[in-house]
Amino acid sequence: MAINKTINKRTNSHGAMRNCIEYVLREGKTDQHLVHITGPYSYEEVNYDLVYRSFLEEKRLWGKDSGRMYAHNVISWHKDEKITPEQALEFGIAFAEKWFSGFQTVISVHKDKDHIHCHLVTNSVSYENGKKLHNSRKDLERMKQLTNRMCQERGLTVAEKGKHFDGSQIETGEVIAWSKDKYYLFRQQKKDSFVADCAMVVLTVMEYCTSRDQFIREMKSAGWIVNWTEKRKHITFQNLEGKKVRDSNLSKTFQLKISKGELENEFIRNEQKEKCCIDRDDSADADLARYYRQVEEAVAGTGGDIGESDYREKRITESSEQGSGTDTEMYGTNTGTPGKSSEELIRESEAARRTSEANRGKSETANRIVQKAEYQSVIAEKQRRSAEQERINEQERARMARRKNKRRSGPEL
């Protein structure tokens, strides 16, 4: 089953074209033997910078270096489809030669997901006659028919409306999304969909929750009541308007792992991450204090008596606890001149202090707290706007009711 999708994003800048080509040729997503270019290409090596230059050279040759720069298509196969990356590359090349004949197209097969998919980035200017590439809605339907016909010719599964990959019927109201791109496309088209809203809230909340109770509380604060009981197999989410959606529906729609077991595993991972962050910060503080003591001992060995050393060590400990301190504060009472090894230790200790402070400031725990606060702020603003809109609607309904009653009562005698 092949799904041929045209990525509808802004394509009228050089930067957008360069970024798109860089993405489809990125190392780790594809291999060199899974990349092919149709049309003229004067370079022996294939990399995103050279492909980008080749596209620009063709545009400037025809004086059409403006407007739409490229077209981006993705042909995706179901994860259970028996197709190899090499066969997917052959499919993409054949499709490009038929549909984008006369246009430069870079084809790249990605295998970094659980399903094989092929990217096609096509230059918007033809190398044969300099005409620009145009695809209407009817062309998109014809593109779908060509994709299905090519699947039939190769013995692959053909997508059927209203049916799953295995041929079973799709339930009424069930929406199938094959990738995260499909999810975002769905979200843009259905801005008022409570299903998409629920998925976005679940994705955000599950990133930092460490228990089921916390997850339920955070979902409630975001406007979603969670019905999670041991007696029921699935979790049910209900918004303030009373609309409900199951975790199984969200999983099928957006390919999310949000069943009971998967959420509990996510909570365990979040708890372990948080614990590791705390332990790492505590360990870093202890190591830093111990390191300062070692530095002070080395400095004390070069001059000064025991009393001075003890006094300086006390000030160093206080300074490390406050997260501040300078060379003058630490060593102002030392009348000796440190040797080479002492100077090195001092520099290393200062570098260690700065690194520790930076790590604490960038710790995952702090980031999660900030993200949570920002998210709650957005939710609060959304609820405020919703309440304000409801108040306006209520006033409008009251005005309409007064007008209606006035018409019924008639003029006073």
Question: What would you report as the CA-atom Rg of the chain, rounded to the nearest whole angstrom?
Answer: 32
The DSSP result for 72-87, as a single string, is EEEEEE-TTS---HHH
- How confident is the model at residue 189, as a pLDDT? 45
DSSP class of residue 274 equals H
User: So what's the pLDDT on residue 125?
Assistant: 93
pLDDT averaged per 10 residues, the chain (length 413): 78 86 86 88 85 91 89 88 90 93 93 86 92 85 89 83 62 48 49 74 85 90 90 90 87 78 87 70 60 58 44 44 43 43 64 65 61 69 80 84 70 50
Q: How far apart are CA 164 and CA 171, in angstroms?
A: 10
- DSSP for 180-217 reads HHHHHHHHHH-TT-HHHHHHHHHHHHTTT--SHHHHHH
Query: How many other CB atoms are found less than 10 A from the CB of residue 188?
Result: 10
pLDDT score, position 307: 43
Which letter does DSSP use for residue 234 in this model?
S
Angle between helix 180-189 and 247-254 (nearest 10): 110
Name 6's Cβ contacts closer than 8 Å, sequence gap at least 6.
71, 72, 73, 135, 140, 143
Residue 227's SS3 state is: strand
Quote the pLDDT of residue 308.
42
pLDDT at site 182: 45
User: How many other C-beta atoms can be found within 10 angstroms of the C-beta atom of residue 166?
Assistant: 9
Looking at residue 225, its pLDDT comes to 92
How far is it, in rounded angstroms, from Cα 238 to Cα 242? 6
Which value, to the nearest 10 degrees, does the dihedral of the CA atoms of residues 214, 219, 224, 230 take?
-40
> What is the distance between the terminal CA atoms of the chain, rounded to a whole angstrom?
76
> Domain residues of the chain, as ranges?
2-153, 180-258, 286-361
As its CATH architecture, domain 2-153 has 2-Layer Sandwich (3.30)
pLDDT value of position 409: 60
